[in-house]
Amino acid sequence: MATDLQRKLQVCHGTTKMRRKTIQSRGFSLLELLIVVAVVLVLAAITIPHLLRSRIAANEASAANAIRQISMAEVSYSSTYSAVGFAPDLATLGSPAGACTADVTHACILDSVISSGGKDGYTFFAAGFAAGGGSVNTAFVASSAPQNFNKSGVRMFCAATDAGTLRVKQGSPGATPAPDVVTCMSYPIL
């Protein structure tokens, strides 16, 4: 009889151990999962601002490069169409959708993305100006401003007739690109 009781205790004791093992091997505890989630959130909080700053820097570099391209396109347009001088607007430097045949209204110098007036979170502007009421545009301005201040960029860029020197100014919410040569010349040189 003692042997039956011992066997029953061993069997009962063995199943208890088995149940404990299955409970322990089910997965992670709630505390472990909370720790992992907290670590992921801390890492995200550290990296997201850096990613946003790098996106702003990339957008600003793209805008500065586009202003340089517009400035070179203005000089090219002026030498090609000397009776007009500098292009009267940004669209004149670009091309219509599809194939492009260069003429005084569409010079096909800039790609259609920049000549449409927006790229990488920036708005672009270009215009030629005739001095003293003349018919030939003897001055130009090419400028840009961020579309969403502090999200797509924080600086405004421009270049004017003075050999296309790139100028930069700290932007502000709702700012527009420099509309004329005088405004652009007030920006500090980059």
pLDDT at 27: 84
Least confident among 2-6, 29-33, 74-78, 92-96? 2-6
The 3-state DSSP class for residue 71 equals helix
> Model's pTM, two decimal places?
0.76
pLDDT digits (tens, 9 = 90+) for 55-67: 999 999 999 999 9
The percentage of the chain sitting over the pLDDT mark of 90, rounded to a whole number, equals: 66
pLDDT digits (tens, 9 = 90+) for 108-155: 999 889 999 999 999 999 999 998 888 999 999 999 999 999 999 999
**Residue 17: pLDDT band by 50, 70, 90 thresholds?**
low
What amino acid is encoded at 172 in this protein? S
Contact 109, 74 (CB under 8 A): no
Rounded CA-CA distance 103/98 in Å is: 15
The values of phi and psi at residue 104, to 5°, are -65, -25
pLDDT at 132: 82
Q: Which two tokens stand for residue 89?
A: 């607007």
pLDDT digits (tens, 9 = 90+) for 29-52: 999 999 999 999 999 888 888 888
Contact 117, 90 (CB under 8 A): yes
| Confidence check: pLDDT of 182 > 80 | yes
Angle at 19 between CA 16 and CA 25, to 5 degrees: 140
The 3-state DSSP class for residue 8 equals helix
